[in-house]
Amino acid sequence: MLLDRKARITKTENWGSYFLISLATPDIARQSQPGQFLMIKVSSSLQPLLRRPLSIHNRSGQEIEIFFQVTGEGTRLLGQKSPGDLLDILGPCGHGFSLKPEFKGKEIFCIGGGRGLAPVYFLARELQTGGARPIIFYGGQTLSDLPLKSRLEEAGWTTNFSTDDGSFGFRGLVTQLVEKELKGRKPAFLFGCGPEAMMARLAEICQAARLPAEFSLESNMGCGLGVCWGCARKIRKDGKTGYLRICQDGPVFPAEEIIWDRD
Amino acid sequence: MLLDRKARITKTENWGSYFLISLATPDIARQSQPGQFLMIKVSSSLQPLLRRPLSIHNRSGQEIEIFFQVTGEGTRLLGQKSPGDLLDILGPCGHGFSLKPEFKGKEIFCIGGGRGLAPVYFLARELQTGGARPIIFYGGQTLSDLPLKSRLEEAGWTTNFSTDDGSFGFRGLVTQLVEKELKGRKPAFLFGCGPEAMMARLAEICQAARLPAEFSLESNMGCGLGVCWGCARKIRKDGKTGYLRICQDGPVFPAEEIIWDRD
Amino acid sequence: MADLSVDLGFLKLKNPVIAASGTFGYGLEFQPLYDLNLLGGFVVKGLYFGPREGNPPPRLAETPCGLINSIGLQGIGVEAFCREVLPPLASLKTALIANICGEDEDEYARVAEYLSQYKGLAALELNISCPNVREGGKCPAQGTEATYRTVKRVRQASSLPLITKLSPNVTDIISIALAAEEAGSQAISLVNTFLALAIDLETRKPKLGHVLGGLSGPAIKPLALRMVFEASRKIKIPVIGLGGIFSAQDALEFMVAGASAVEVGTANFVNPYACPEIIKGMENWADQNGIKRINEIVGTLRV
Amino acid sequence: MADLSVDLGFLKLKNPVIAASGTFGYGLEFQPLYDLNLLGGFVVKGLYFGPREGNPPPRLAETPCGLINSIGLQGIGVEAFCREVLPPLASLKTALIANICGEDEDEYARVAEYLSQYKGLAALELNISCPNVREGGKCPAQGTEATYRTVKRVRQASSLPLITKLSPNVTDIISIALAAEEAGSQAISLVNTFLALAIDLETRKPKLGHVLGGLSGPAIKPLALRMVFEASRKIKIPVIGLGGIFSAQDALEFMVAGASAVEVGTANFVNPYACPEIIKGMENWADQNGIKRINEIVGTLRV
Ligand SMILES: Cc1cc2nc3c(=O)[nH]c(=O)nc-3n(C[C@H](O)[C@H](O)[C@H](O)COP(=O)(O)OP(=O)(O)OC[C@H]3O[C@@H](n4cnc5c(N)ncnc54)[C@H](O)[C@@H]3O)c2cc1C
Ligand SMILES: Cc1cc2nc3c(=O)[nH]c(=O)nc-3n(C[C@H](O)[C@H](O)[C@H](O)COP(=O)(O)OP(=O)(O)OC[C@H]3O[C@@H](n4cnc5c(N)ncnc54)[C@H](O)[C@@H]3O)c2cc1C
Ligand SMILES: Cc1cc2nc3c(=O)[nH]c(=O)nc-3n(C[C@H](O)[C@H](O)[C@H](O)COP(=O)(O)O)c2cc1C
Ligand SMILES: Cc1cc2nc3c(=O)[nH]c(=O)nc-3n(C[C@H](O)[C@H](O)[C@H](O)COP(=O)(O)O)c2cc1C
Ligand code: FES
Ligand code: FES
C-alpha cells in the first residue's frame, strides 16, 4: 500500500556531493522492502515540478534513511534541508529485490556503484537478518565517492572497495573487482545497483559465471505510481519484449529480463 | 549609480506576516535616499521568475533594512531567509522623496499605511537630520498591522496611530486621522505611502488644504531598471498625460502629477 | 455548502473536476488512494483499436515548471480494455470517459463503435490532438477539415456523447473549435500538450527518444487559459478546460475564463490526491465567496 | 580560447549573443552597467513611425517560470530615435539592430526607409509578430501571405539587411519561415511571445489592462527550441533563436538545435548582466569541450 506522508527530517549528514538524511515515518518504515523507493517532493514551489525517486537506504525502527548524490537542481534543493524540516514523501514504491529463503547460509554478492550503494545497505541488512552472508562491493571513481565506507565496515560485513584511480581499495572498476573475487568465491546470487554500464557488465559476468542476478534500474519518472508510463524501458519477459514500467514492474529486474541501454 | 550586490543578511525580525531584515551592503547603503528601492531576487531557482521591489526602510552605517509583508510566493520565500544567507540585490533604484532645504524647522507629515510604512522610517530620519520635524502617521486594520509601533515611539518622533477597528490609537482610517490633525497643525509638506485608495484620499485632502505632497506609487515591475516599460502608469506632467515608468521616473511623484487608479 | 454540480447538457457531473487522459492510468491505479466516486469524472488513457507499444525511452523530460512527454499512447487496445478494465469501473458513480485514438478516421470510428457496445461509459473524448504519434507532431486537430471529418465520422459511428480534444498547436483555435461543433461534437476539451523539444547539451541529443514531445504543466497554463477564453466565447457547446491546473484557484480561473468543467493532468503525478484536493478547495472558495452554484462563475471574466 | 564569432552572411557578430528587443530599452540604459561592446549585438525597442503611447496598465503578470507582457510598443518613434538615441549609439563596436513595427505594410516600409538614411544600424529586425497591438493578438506573422507581402515591401524600401521576427502562435512555423525567406529576408528570428491570459480570481478580471499579452521566459523555452529546430532544417537563411534563454547552456542548446545566433530577452530583467555572463559561459563551455569555433555546433543535434 502506497502511503503519502509528511516526514520530519531527524538528521542529515553530508560528504561533498553526497547526503544521508534520516526521516521519521513509522508506517512507511514498517512496510519498506530493500529495493523499493520513495517519490520525494523537493520544492514547495512549482519548480522543479516533479518528485524525485530515491531508494530506501535503510530502515531503523520508526525511521528510514535516504542516501543520494547531488546531480541537479532537485537533489541540490534536497541537500539544503535541515533537521526539523518536513519532506513530502510517497512510498514505498515499486518492487524490491527478491530475498529468497534459500539464500540462508549462502554468500550473496551485493554491488553498489557510487550513489547506487543507496539500496544495497538495506538489502545487505535484510539478507543478514534472513541468515544469508552479504559480500559487499562498493566502487567509485575516487576515495571521496565512497562516503559510506566506514558505515559498511562498522556493519561488519565483508566489504570490497574499488576506486578507478586506486585512491582506496582495488584500483580499477568495481566490475573487475567482482570478476576477480568470483575466481575465489561461489556466491548464490548477485544484486547490483549503479551506473547502467556497470550493471550491464555485471550482467555479462554473471551470465558467463551462471550466477543468477537482479539489478535495480533507473529511468526518468513522472509519477512513480504506474500511471504515466513515462518510465518505461524495454524488458524481455516470458520470451516477449515490450515496454514495462520501471516504477511499478521494477525497479528491480532479473538480469535475463533486462535489455541494456548501450549508449 | 545602480549596484548589483550579494548582501549578507545580518538580522531578521518577524511579526505575523511582517518581516524586518537587515542587510550588510556598504556601497548601496552609502548611496541610498529615502523613497528609493531595491530589486531583490527571492529564489535561487527560476520560480518565481522576477525580482521583487522593496523600499529601503532604513540605513544605519554599512547596513540597510527592508520591511515587508508577505503577500504572495515571493515575499513568503523572502521571509524564510535567515541571518548568514546572501541576498541578490540591485539598487538603489528610482527617485526618492524630495527633501528640500526649506523643510528645516518645519513640520512634515509622513504617512504610512500598513507595509507602506517601509520607506517612511528612512524618510523621517533624513528629514530629522535635515532639521525638519517629521510627524508620523501609521495606520493599519488592527493592532497587529502596526508591528513597528514601538520602533517609531523609540525614535522619539511625534507619532499618531490609527486602526480601522480601534484596537490601537485612533479608531478609523489613517486618512481621517490626518484630516483631524490638519485642523490643528499646518505642516509644510506631506509624504505618503500605502494602499492606492489611502493615497488617493490623502491627495484630495492635501488639495483641499493646499498642502503640497508626494506619494510613492506601486506597480508590477519587470526590471526596475527602466528598460521594460512594464511598470508604466498614467502621469500628468507639464500639462500632458502619458505613461511614465514608476521604477525610473518614480516611484515618488508629486500629488498633482498622479492620476489615481480608482478600482 | 455550495452546489458544485455542472451540467454539460449531455452529461451531469457531480463536480467540475475530471482527471485527464494519460495521467490517471485506467483509473484502477488510484483506487487504493481514494474513492474515485469523489471525482466529477475521469478519462482513461488513450485507446487505439489494438494494443500499442508506445515510443522509445526516454519518454519524459522536465523543463521549467513543465513536463515534456512522448509516451506515444502505449496501451492495451479496446478489446482488452472492455474485457479487463471496464467491468470493475462500470459500477462507479462517476463519469467514466474513454479517450479514443486512431491512425486514420477509420480506426477512430472502429474504436468508437466498439466501445459503444458496452455499458458504463459516460462519453468519448476524441483525441485528435496527440503530438506524439505522427511524424513531426502533426495531428488532425491542426486543421479545420481534418477535425470536421474525424468528428463527423465518429459521430456517425457511436451514439455516445462526444467531447473533441483540441490541439493548442494552431494559429486559430476558434476555427478548429467551430469545426468540431459543426461536425456534431457535444463539447470540446482543450488543451492537449504543446509540441516541444528538450536537448541534452552534453550528448547533443534530444532528451526524448522520440525527439519531440508534448509540454504540459503550469508552464502552459496562461496559454491554455487564453485558448479556453477565446474558444468558449465563440462556440455554443461547452468547453472543458485544462493545461497546468494544479490548484483549486487554477481550476476556478479556467471556469471564469469560460470552461464549464476542467481536467487535471500532470498535477496527478506530483500530488496523487490533486483531484480531490482541488474539489475540496473549490467548495471552500465558493462557500467563502457566497457562490451558491459553481456554474454561476463560468465565463464571468470581466473584460 | 574559443572563437565565438559567427557570420550570418550579411553580418558578422563577435559572438552569438544579442540582447532582444523590448528587454534592453534603447541600449543606453545598460551603458552604466557594462560595456555594450561586449555584446554580439542588441536590438532596440520596437519602433513605429510616430511616438506611441502603449497599452493601459497593468502591463505585466508573472506566471509559473514565465512573464506575460502587454507593453504595446510604447516608444518614441523613428524621428526622435534617429535624433536622440542613434547618435550616441552609432559609435559602438557592436551590431546595433532596430526592431521595426507598423500598423500596416505602408508604415513598416516608411519606418524602414526612414531608418535607412542613417548610419550606424547593422540590420533591421522586422517585428511582424507582436501579439500586443492588434485585436485578439493577431499579427502578420500568423499568415504566409501577410508575412511574404510585408517582408517584400520592407525589402524594397530599405537596403539594410533584414531579419524577420516570427510568431510562435502558428500551426506551421516552417511555412511562415519559408515565406519570409522567399520574400527576401536575410534571416529570421524566432520566437516572439506566446499569446496568453492571466486572471485575477478575486476580481475576476484579467491581470493585464490589455486582457491578453505575450508570454516569455523559461516556461516557453522548450516550445521555442522546437520551432528553431523545425525551421532551421527547412530554410537556408540563418535562424536567430530566442525564448527563455537564461544561461549559457540554454543559448548553446538553441545553437545545437539550429540557431546561428541567439537573443536574450526576459533574462535581462532578472539579471541585468545576463548577456555578458552568457557570453562568458559559452566561452568557458567551448574551451572545456575543445570547441575551437562556436559556429561548429550550429545544428548539430543528433537525431
Ligand atoms: C528507482 C530509482 C531510485 C533511485 N535512487 C537513488 C538514490 O537512492 N540515490 C541517488 O542519489 N539517486 C537515486 N536515483 C536517481 C535520482 O532519482 C536522480 O539523480 C534525481 O532524480 C536527479 O534529480 P535532479 O533534479 O537532482 O537532477 P536533474 O537535473 O533533474 O537531472 C540530473 C540527471 O538525473 C536524471 N533524472 C532527472 N529526473 C529524473 C527522474 N525523475 N528519475 C530518474 N532520473 C532522473 C536526468 O536524466 C539527469 O541525467 C534513483 C532513481 C530511480 C529511478
Ligand atoms: C517601488 C516599490 C516598493 C515597494 N516596497 C515595498 C516594501 O517596502 N514593503 C512591502 O511589503 N512591499 C513593498 N512593495 C510591494 C511588493 O513589491 C509586493 O508586495 C511584492 O512584489 C509581492 O510579491 P509576492 O511574490 O509576495 O506576491 P505575488 O503573489 O507576486 O503578488 C501579490 C500581489 O503583489 C503584486 N505584485 C506582484 N508582483 C509585483 C511587482 N513586481 N511589483 C509590484 N507589485 C507586485 C501583485 O499584483 C499582487 O497583488 C513595493 C512595491 C514597489 C513597486
Ligand atoms: C504522460 C502524459 C500522457 C498523456 N496521455 C494522453 C492521452 O493518452 N490522451 C490524451 O488525450 N491526452 C494525453 N495527455 C495530455 C493530457 O491529458 C493533458 O491534455 C495535458 O497534459 C495538459 O494538461 P496538464 O497540464 O494538466 O497535464 C497526456 C499527458 C501526459 C503528461
Ligand atoms: C517587456 C517585453 C517587451 C518586448 N517588446 C518587444 C518589442 O518591442 N519588439 C519585439 O520584437 N519583441 C519584443 N518582445 C519580445 C522579446 O524580444 C522576445 O521575443 C520574447 O520575450 C522571448 O524571449 P525571452 O523569453 O528571452 O524573453 C518583448 C518582450 C518583453 C518581455
Ligand atoms: S513513473 Fe509513471 S508509470 Fe512509472
Ligand atoms: S520595471 Fe521595467 S521599466 Fe520599470
Mean pLDDT in consecutive groups of 10 residues from the start of chain B, 263 residues: 92 96 95 97 94 97 96 95 95 96 94 97 96 96 95 92 95 95 93 97 95 97 96 93 96 96 74
Q: State which of B216, B235, B252 marks the end of a domain.
A: B216
Angle of helix C221-234 relative to helix C173-182, nearest 10 degrees, comes to 50
Angle at C69 between CA A46 and CA C164, to 5 degrees: 100
Residue A262 pLDDT > 80: no
Query: Can you tell me which residue has the cell 502608469?
Result: B233
C-alpha cell at B9: 543578511
* pLDDT confidence band for D138 (50 / 70 / 90): confident
Q: Given the DSSP bridges, would you call strands D212-216 and D205-206 parallel, antiparallel or unpaired?
A: unpaired
Distance CA A115, CA A103 (A): 26
| Predicted local confidence at residue D1, as pLDDT | 87
Residue with cell 490548484: C247
CB under 8 Å to A204, separation ≥6 — which residues?
none
Whether the complex's predicted ipTM is more than 0.90 is answered with yes
- Structural domain including C196 reads 6-297
The length of chain A is: 263
The pLDDT of residue A239 is: 87
Q: What's residue D130's pLDDT?
A: 85
> Do B189 and B261 fall within a single domain?
no
Is residue D1 included in any domain, yes or no? no
The residue of chain C nearest to residue B49, with distances taken between CA atoms, is C64
Q: Which residue has the cell 485575477?
A: D200
Q: Ligand 2 centroid to B52 CA: how many Å?
A: 6
Shortest CB distance from D223 goes to which of C196, C205, C297? C196
Assigned domain for D302 exists? no
pLDDT band at C138, cuts 50/70/90?
A: confident
Task: State mean pLDDT over A34-63.
Answer: 96
- CATH at B243: 2.10.240.10
Chains that touch D (3 or more CB pairs under 8 A): A, B, C
Number of the ligand 1 atom closest to the C-alpha atom of A115: 11
Q: What's the whole-model pTM score?
A: 0.96
The answer, yes or no, to whether residue A110 has pLDDT greater than 90, is yes
The total number of structural domains that make up chain A? 3
Give the pLDDT of residue C283.
97
Supply the mean pLDDT for chain C.
96
Residue bearing cell 478609523: B172
Res A144 pLDDT > 80:
yes
**3-state SS of chain D: helix, strand, coil percent to 5?**
35, 20, 45
B2:D33 CB<8 A = yes
Q: Is residue D93 part of a domain?
A: yes
Q: Is C130 one of the annotated active-site residues of the chain?
A: yes
Q: Report, as an integer, the average pLDDT of A29-35.
A: 95
Average pLDDT on C243-257 reads 98
In a shared domain, residues B123 and B133: yes
| Ligand 3 site, CB within 6 A | A 222, 228, 230; C 20-23, 45-46, 67, 69, 71, 73, 99, 127, 130, 165, 192-193, 216-217, 220, 242-245, 264-267
CA of A47 to nearest chain D CA: how many angstroms apart? 8
Neighbouring-strand partners of residue A20: A13, A67
Residues B206 and B176 both lie in one domain: yes
Q: Which of A93, A124, A142 is the last residue of a domain?
A: A93
The alpha carbon of residue C167 is apart from the nearest alpha carbon of chain D, in Å, by 10
Q: What is the pLDDT of residue A263?
A: 64
Reduced 3-state DSSP string for chain A: CCEEEEEEEEEEEEECCEEEEEEECHHHHHHCCCCCEEEEECCCCCCCCCCEEEECCEEECCEEEEEEECCCHHHHHHHCCCCCCEEEEEEEECECCCCCHHHCCCEEEEEEEHHHHHHHHHHHHHHHHCCCEEEEEEEECCHHHCCCHHHHHHHCCEEEEEECCCCCCEECCHHHHHHHHHHHCCCCEEEEECCHHHHHHHHHHHHHCCCCEEEECCCCCCCCCCCCCCCEEEEEECCEEEEEEHHHHCEEEEHHHECCCCC
By the 8 A CB rule, do C99 and C22 touch?
yes
Is residue C302 included in any domain, yes or no?
no
Same domain, A85 and A157: no
Answer whether B57's CB lies under 8 Å from B121's CB: yes
The set of cell numbers assigned to B147 is 508591528
Ligand 5 pocket check for A172: Cβ under 6 Å: no
DSSP 8-state assignment for residue D23:
S
Q: Which residues of D touch C141 (CB under 8 A)?
A: none
For residue C146, being part of any structural domain is answered with yes
Same domain, A25 and A127: no
C-beta of B52 in contact with ligand 6 (< 6 A): no
CB contact, 8 Å: B167 with chain A?
no
Distance CA C267, CA C22 (A): 12
Q: Are B79 and B12 in the same domain?
A: yes
What confidence score (pLDDT) does residue A4 get?
A: 92
Distance CA A258, CA C176 (A): 45
Q: Residue A67: which domain range?
A: 3-93
Of A62, A93, A124, which residue is a domain's last? A93
Question: Which residues of B are less than 8 Å from C246 in CB distance?
Answer: none
pLDDT in tens, A237-247: 988 999 999 99
Question: What's the confidence (pLDDT) of residue C1?
Answer: 87
Give the pLDDT score at A261.
Answer: 85
Q: What residues are in contact with ligand 1 under a 6 Å CB criterion?
A: A 37, 48, 50, 52-55, 67-69, 71-75, 115, 118, 218-221, 251; C 62
Coil vs helix vs strand at B135: strand
> Could you tell me if A178 and A207 lie in one domain?
yes
What pLDDT, on the 0 to 100 scale, is given for residue A231? 97
In the prediction, which pLDDT does A63 show?
95
Distance of alpha carbon B235 from alpha carbon B253, whole angstroms: 9
Angle between helices C221-234 and C248-257 (to 10 degrees): 30
Kindly state the average pLDDT of the residues C235-249: 98
For position B85, which CATH number holds? 2.40.30.10
Question: Do residues A125 and A66 both lie within one domain?
Answer: no
Same domain, A41 and A80: yes
Residues B243, B176 within the same domain: no
- Helices (H), ranges, D159-220: 173-182
Are B199 and B114 within one domain?
yes
Handedness of CA A19, A23, A29, A32 (dihedral sign): negative
Question: Would you state the pLDDT for residue C215?
Answer: 98
Query: Is residue A247 located within the same domain as residue A200?
Result: no
**Residue A68 Cα to ligand 1 middle (Å):** 9
Quick one: average pLDDT of D204-229?
97
Interface touch D32/B2, C-beta < 8 Å: yes
Residue C52: all three cell numbers together:
500499442
For position B211, which CATH number holds? 3.40.50.80
Please count the residues of chain C: 303
Burial class (CB in 10 A: 0-12, 13-18, 19+), A76: middle
**pLDDT at C161 exceeding the cut of 80:** yes
DSSP-assigned beta bridge partners for residue D187: D163
Structural domains counted in chain C: 1
C11-70: pLDDT as tens digits: 999 999 999 999 999 999 999 999 999 999 999 999 999 999 999 999 999 999 999 999
Q: Give the DSSP letter string of chain C.
A: --B--EE-SS-EESSSEEEPTTSSTTSGGGTTTS-GGGSSEEEPPPB-SS-B--PPSP-EEEETTEEEE-----B-HHHHIIIIIHHHHHT-SSEEEEEE--SSHHHHHHHHHHHHTSSS--EEEEE---TTSSGGG--GGGSHHHHHHHHHHHHHH--S-EEEEPPS-SS-HHHHHHHHHHTT-SEEEE--PEEEE-EETTTTEESSTTSEEEEESGGGHHHHHHHHHHHHHH-SS-EEE-SS--SHHHHHHHHHHT-SEEEE-THHHH-TTHHHHHHHHHHHHHHHTT-SBGGGGTT----
Contact status, residue A182 vs residue A191, Cβ threshold 8 Å:
no
